[in-house]
Amino acid sequence: MPDLFYTDEVQKVRTTKMPSTFAVNANTIVSNHFSPKWFVGVAAQKEESCMSRTKAPTVSDVYTSALKTAGTAMRVWETMVASQAVIQSRLGTIHSAARNPATADYDELALMVPEKVKAFSKAGAAALPDLQLVQSMYFAQAHHLTKLMLGYKVPSIGDLSAIAARSTQMAIVAADAAGKALLPVHAQATSNARRLKKPPGK
């Protein structure tokens, strides 16, 4: 890939007065010198597709996302507390099995690995669509900023609004992805904690 900062075209632009059509020429520089051809093509497609799939976030969207994030934080704490209880109980099960394999609780021992694979598989599947959308918006943001920088263009109000809206939307979607990914792990951990909790007085 040629180096953008040492091409003849860019050196000529640096030493001459910027023509009014430089923004058009900058697109040529981007396509031919700045990055592999696939990046420009993919970024343009991502920008178009993600703008059609997303909207500018409203104050209500931001407030709702903040509430969801608070709920996610609470579930993180609950997962940690539940995990501590489950680990403590299962360490006793493992210790008993090591001391006397004949009386070991093999049903419980057999759950330890498969349940984690299942929970984390569900977590990945739940978060994947949102993560793909964040990636699309990231490509769109990179494409938009690259055109502005290499076009020596002063960002308009529309540009600034689009960049700010896209940044906010990325944060909202990423936070939602984290919450969705946590749900199956939280459900498994808290379920185990309730099941393994010993009755009072025993």
Whether 41 is in a domain gets the answer yes
3-state SS class at 168: helix
Whether 30 is in a domain gets the answer no
Whether 175 is in a domain gets the answer yes
Q: What does the pLDDT average to over 5-16? A: 39
Classify residue 33 as exposed, middle or buried by CB count within 10 Å of its CB (0-12, 13-18, 19+): middle
Whether 172 is in a domain gets the answer yes
How far apart are the C-alpha atoms of 1 and 17, rounded to whole Å? 27
pTM of structure: 0.67
For residue range 77-96, list pLDDT tens digits in order: 999 999 999 999 999 999 99
The b-or-e profile of 172-200 (16+ CB within 10 A means b, else e) is bbbbbbbbbbbbbbbebbbebbeebeeee
Whether 108 is in a domain gets the answer yes
Range of the domain at 119: 35-196
Whether 16 is in a domain gets the answer no
Q: What does the pLDDT average to over 5-14? A: 38
For residue range 143-165, list pLDDT tens digits in order: 999 988 888 778 889 889 899 99
Whether 60 is in a domain gets the answer yes
Under DSSP, the state recorded for 157 is: H
Q: How many domains does the chain have?
A: 1
- Supply the pLDDT for residue 197: 86
